Amino acid sequence: MNIFLLLESGLDLALELVVPLIALVAEIIGLIIIILSLLRSTYHYLRVSLFHDDYDFRLEMSSGLTTALEFLLAAEVSKTILLPDLNSVLLLAATFALRAAMSILLHAEMHTERAEKAEARREAKQEELREGKKTDSRKASSDL
């Protein structure tokens, strides 16, 4: 029986050392992704603003934030292993819910934006085809 208590205390000690490290690594990765997304989006925003490039920097920023939120949520989940009381669990659950809601909203925004861009491309292509047909019919009538 003493061996089991020793094993259990060793496992508890290992969890107390490893879990915060895992959470910290996930949080650092999330922060790095946010910083890189911010820098890339700022660069592309300036290019669009100054040179009128056709690039969707908002979609890139949303994608980066969503990915970062996934890492931050993973950190929150890993922290639940060591929570000692109900208040800590409730606080973590509230944080988790807010981050999950933000992630869902960003996913929805990205989906809507992609759908709008796809529709605009389809409309532009149809307009191109219509213009091409008008040009072809004008050529045919002038040949007669």
- The confidence score (pLDDT) of residue 58 equals 79
What total of structural domains would you count in the chain? 1
Q: Report residue 36's pLDDT band, with 50, 70 and 90 as the boundaries.
A: very high
Mean pLDDT of the chain, nearest integer: 83
End-to-end alpha carbon distance in the chain? 104
- The confidence score (pLDDT) of residue 1 equals 56
In a domain, 120, yes or no: no
Q: Are 76 and 99 in contact (CB under 8 A)?
A: yes
Q: What is the pLDDT of residues 61-100, one digit of tens each?
A: 888 888 998 899 889 888 888 877 888 778 888 888 888 8
Distance, in Å, from the CA atom of 27 to the CA atom of 129, rounded to the nearest integer, reads 50
Distance, in Å, from the CA atom of 78 to the CA atom of 71, rounded to the nearest integer, reads 11
Structural domain of 71: 2-114
Q: Are 63 and 18 in contact (CB under 8 A)?
A: no
Asked whether the CA dihedral 73, 79, 83, 87 is positive or negative, the reply is: negative
In a domain, 106, yes or no: yes
Find the mean pLDDT for residues 113-138.
Answer: 80
In a domain, 33, yes or no: yes
Q: Are 113 and 58 in contact (CB under 8 A)?
A: yes
Asked whether the CA dihedral 127, 57, 112, 64 is positive or negative, the reply is: positive
In a domain, 101, yes or no: yes
Distance, in Å, from the CA atom of 100 to the CA atom of 14, rounded to the nearest integer, reads 29
- Taking CA atoms, 106 is separated from 15, 67, 84, 111, 133, in Å, by 33, 10, 32, 9, 41
In a domain, 130, yes or no: no
